[in-house]
Amino acid sequence: MIVKVGAIGAGSMASGHFNNLNEFEDVEFVAFCDISEDRARQRCQEYGGNAYTDFAKMYDKERLDAVYICTPPFAHGQSELMAIERGIQIFVEKPIATTMETAHQINEAIENSSTISSVGYHWRYQSNVDKAIEVLDGVQIIGAMGYWMGGMPGVGWWRTREGSGGQHVEQTTHIFDLCRYLVGSDVVAVHGFAADGSMSDIPNYDVDDMSIINIQFANGTIANITSACMLKGFGRVKLEIFSNGLVVDVSSGSIKINREDETETYANEVNGYQHEDRVFINAVKSKNGSKIRSPYEDALKTLQITLAASESFITGKQVDLT
pLDDT at 13: 86
For residue 61, the 8-state DSSP code is: H
Per-residue pLDDT of the chain (322 residues; tens, 9 = 90+): 999 999 999 998 899 999 999 999 999 999 999 999 999 999 999 999 999 999 999 999 999 999 999 999 999 999 999 999 999 999 999 999 999 999 999 999 999 999 999 999 999 999 999 999 999 999 999 999 999 999 999 999 999 999 999 999 999 999 999 999 999 999 999 999 999 999 999 999 999 999 999 999 999 999 999 999 999 999 999 999 999 999 999 999 999 999 988 999 999 999 999 999 999 999 999 999 999 999 999 999 999 999 999 999 999 999 999 8
Flag whether 35 is in a domain: yes
Flag whether 46 is in a domain: yes
Q: Are residues 88 and 146 in the same domain?
A: no
Flag whether 299 is in a domain: no
Flag whether 57 is in a domain: yes
Q: Are residues 128 and 248 in the same domain?
A: yes
Q: Are residues 189 and 287 in the same domain?
A: no
pLDDT at 90: 98
Q: Are residues 182 and 61 in the same domain?
A: no
**Domain containing 47 — which CATH number?**
3.40.50.720
Distance CA 215, CA 223 (A): 5
Flag whether 234 is in a domain: yes
Q: Are residues 108 and 173 in the same domain?
A: no
Q: Are residues 109 and 156 in the same domain?
A: no
Q: Are residues 105 and 166 in the same domain?
A: no
Q: Are residues 262 and 277 in the same domain?
A: no
Flag whether 17 is in a domain: yes
Beta sheet of 262-267, edge-to-edge order? 262-267, 254-259, 246-251, 236-243, 143-149, 222-228, 210-217, 187-195, 319-320
CB 69 within 8 A of CB 91: yes
pLDDT at 76: 98
Q: Are residues 151 and 88 in the same domain?
A: no
Flag whether 7 is in a domain: yes
Q: Are residues 58 and 181 in the same domain?
A: no
Looking at this protein, which amino acid is placed at residue 105? Q
Note down the domain range covering 106: 3-122+273-294
Q: Are residues 218 and 283 in the same domain?
A: no
Phi (first) and psi of residue 310, to 5 degrees: -60, -40
Q: Structural domain tally of the chain?
A: 2
Q: Are residues 136 and 109 in the same domain?
A: no
**Domain containing 192 — which CATH number?**
3.30.360.10
Give 26-82 pLDDT, tens digit per residue. Answer: 999 999 999 999 999 999 999 999 999 999 999 999 999 999 999 999 999 999 999
